[in-house]
């Protein structure tokens, strides 16, 4: 029965971690984000990633990371299955955020803005998730 206790602790720890990450995502939302923008965010992010991955002016390593991200998003098997409410999509959001942070460090915020296909509220949220300063903030 020791393995049951260990499994319960591991599952509880993972659940707590995901709840903390969801709280961070909630905190990262912007005032411009409407319900319509939120619903359109995932398709817009997929189009953004595809456009960035096809941009020959970006470094090869950046494009490879983006193609790997697209493959992950299109895979039917995730770290957390999408059938689990909230948590199923949270892993996708976290993987996208980490990848976009990495990409924007190399490609720049202008590449993100240039290829963004959606509403400004969605771009503001994606920019925050990517670790970019709010628009109009001086660099530094």
At residue 95 the predicted structure's pLDDT band, cuts being 50, 70 and 90, is: confident
Rg (CA), the chain: 17
CA 115/CA 45 separation, integer angstroms: 10
Kindly report, residue by residue over 71-91, the tens digit of the pLDDT.
Answer: 887 777 777 776 776 667 777
Residue 129 sits at the vertex; the CA angle it makes with 123 and 135, to the nearest 5 degrees, is 50
Kindly report, residue by residue over 14-69, the tens digit of the pLDDT.
Answer: 666 666 666 666 666 555 555 555 556 778 888 888 899 999 999 999 999 999 98
How is the chain split into domains, by residue range?
Answer: 1-20+39-75+87-130
Q: DSSP letters of the chain?
A: -HHHHHHHHHHHHHHHHHHHHHHHHHHH--TT--HHHHHHHHHHHHHHHHHHHH-TTS-HHHHHHHHHHHHHHH-S--SS-TTSTTHHHHHHHHHHHHHHHHHHHHH-HHHHHHH--S-HHHHHHHHHHTTPPPTTPPP-
**CA 69 distance to own-chain centroid:** 10
- The per-residue pLDDT for 51 is 92
């Amino acid at each position: 029965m020791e393995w049951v206790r260990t499994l319960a602790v591991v599952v509880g720890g993972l659940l707590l971690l995901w709840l903390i990450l969801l709280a961070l995502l909630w905190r990262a939302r912007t005032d411009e984000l409407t319900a319509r923008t939120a619903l359109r965010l995932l398709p817009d992010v997929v189009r953004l990633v595809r456009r960035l991955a096809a941009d020959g002016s970006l470094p090869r390593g950046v494009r490879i990371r983006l193609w790997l991200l697209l493959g992950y998003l299109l895979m039917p098997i995730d770290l957390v299955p999408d059938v689990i409410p909230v948590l199923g999509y949270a892993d996708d959001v976290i993987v996208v955020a980490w990848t976009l942070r990495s990409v924007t460090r190399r490609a720049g915020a202008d590449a993100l803005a240039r290829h963004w296909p959606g509403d400004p509220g969605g771009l503001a949220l994606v920019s925050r998730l990517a670790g970019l300063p709010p628009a109009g903030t001086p660099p530094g």
